[in-house]
C-alpha cells in the first residue's frame, strides 16, 4: 500500500528537545547526523543554522510544502483535543501547559515549512521509507536518530524493526532511539526482543534522559558498532 498523507499525523519537535531526548553533546553535534522519521521537526533547520551537518529522512518528504501545511492544519485541532483529554499522562514541567505545547509544536513545524523547499534542494530532507535500502555507503553517518517512530508503533512488528534498524546501522556508526516505550508509554515485548537481538551483535546501552514528557518516556536506546 502506498504511503498516504491523510494517514499521517505530522507533529514536530524542536532542536532543544532533540538535544535532550538524544543526549546530544557539543561533540556529538559536530558529527554527521541522520534523522530517520524526522517529519516536520525543526531539528534539521535549527542544526543547519548553527553550522551542523544533519540529513533528515521521511516518507512525508514526497509531498509539497503546501500539502504538508494543509495536513498540519487539519490535524492540529485533533491532536490538541486528544492531549486535552489525556493531560494526566504527561509531565508539565519543561512544557508548562497545553498552550505552551501547541505553541512549541506549531513554531517547530512553521520553521520546518519555511526551510523545507531549500532543504530539499540542498538534500537535507530526503524522501525515504524505512526499511528500504539507503543510497549511502557503510558508516557514511556517525549518528542515526529516530524520535517518536521506531519502537513506539509496535504494530509495525519485530521483522520491520530489525530490517529498519539493520539498514540504519549499515549507514551509521551508531544509532539512538527515543523513546523505547509504546504509544501509551508502556514497556513492550517488542523493545525487549529488539534489544535482545542487537545485544548479540553490537554494543547496546539504555540511558536515562533528562527529557520526559509522556510519563515513563525517559529512556534512550543507543546501539554502537
Ligand X SMILES: C[S@@+](CC[C@H](N)C(=O)[O-])C[C@H]1O[C@@H](n2cnc3c(N)ncnc32)[C@H](O)[C@@H]1O
130 binds ligand X (CB under 6 A): yes
37 binds ligand X (CB under 6 A): yes
Rounded Cα–Cα distance for residues 31 and 155 (Å): 33
198 binds ligand X (CB under 6 A): no
Q: Return the residues of window 40-79 that contact ligand X according to CB under 6 A.
A: 41, 58-60
Nearer to ligand X, 172 or 199 (CB): 172
> CA Rg, the chain, in Å?
17
Nearer to ligand X, 58 or 174 (CB): 58
175 binds ligand X (CB under 6 A): no
Contact 37, 130 (CB under 8 A): yes
Nearer to ligand X, 99 or 132 (CB): 132
To ligand X, the closest distance from the beta carbon of 201 in angstroms equals 22
23 binds ligand X (CB under 6 A): no
Nearer to ligand X, 4 or 208 (CB): 4
Q: Return the residues of window 79-98 that contact ligand X according to CB under 6 A.
A: none
To ligand X, the closest distance from the beta carbon of 222 in angstroms equals 17
Rounded to a whole number of angstroms, the distance between the first and last alpha carbons of the chain is: 33
Binding mask 135-154 for ligand X (x = CB under 6 A): ------------xxx-----
Stretch that binds ligand X, among 31-39, 70-78, 112-120, 197-205 (CB under 6 A): 31-39
Nearer to ligand X, 105 or 198 (CB): 105
Contact 220, 209 (CB under 8 A): yes
38 binds ligand X (CB under 6 A): yes
Amino acid at each position: 500500500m502506498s504511503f498516504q498523507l491523510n494517514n499521517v499525523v505530522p507533529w514536530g519537535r524542536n532542536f532543544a528537545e532533540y538535544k535532550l531526548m538524544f543526549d546530544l553533546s557539543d561533540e556529538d553535534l559536530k558529527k554527521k547526523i541522520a534523522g530517520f522519521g524526522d517529519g516536520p521537526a525543526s531539528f534539521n533547520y535549527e542544526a543547519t543554522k548553527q553550522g551542523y551537518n544533519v540529513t533528515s529522512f521521511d516518507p512525508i518528504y514526497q509531498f509539497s510544502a503546501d500539502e504538508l501545511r494543509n495536513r498540519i492544519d487539519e490535524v492540529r485541532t485533533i491532536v490538541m483535543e486528544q492531549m486535552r483529554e489525556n493531560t494526566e499522562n504527561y509531565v508539565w514541567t519543561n512544557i508548562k501547559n497545553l498552550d505552551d505545547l501547541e505553541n512549541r509544536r506549531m513554531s517547530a513545524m512553521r520553521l520546518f515549512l519555511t526551510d523545507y523547499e531549500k532543504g530539499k534542494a540542498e538534500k537535507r530532507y530526503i524522501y525515504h521509507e524505512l526499511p528500504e535500502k539507503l543510497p549511502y555507503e557503510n558508516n557514511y553517518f556517525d549518528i542515526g536518530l529516530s524520535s517518536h517512530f521506531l519502537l513506539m508503533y509496535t504494530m509495525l512488528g519485530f521483522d520491520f524493526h530489525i530490517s529498519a534498524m539493520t539498514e540504519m546501522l549499515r549507514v551509521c556508526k551508531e544509532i539512538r532511539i527515543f523513546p523505547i516505550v509504546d504509544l501509551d508509554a508502556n514497556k513492550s515485548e517488542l523493545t525487549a526482543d529488539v534489544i535482545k537481538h542487537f545485544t548479540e551483535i553490537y554494543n547496546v546501552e539504555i540511558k536515562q534522559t533528562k527529557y520526559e514528557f509522556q510519563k515513563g518516556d525517559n529512556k534512550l536506546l543507543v546501539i554502537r558498532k
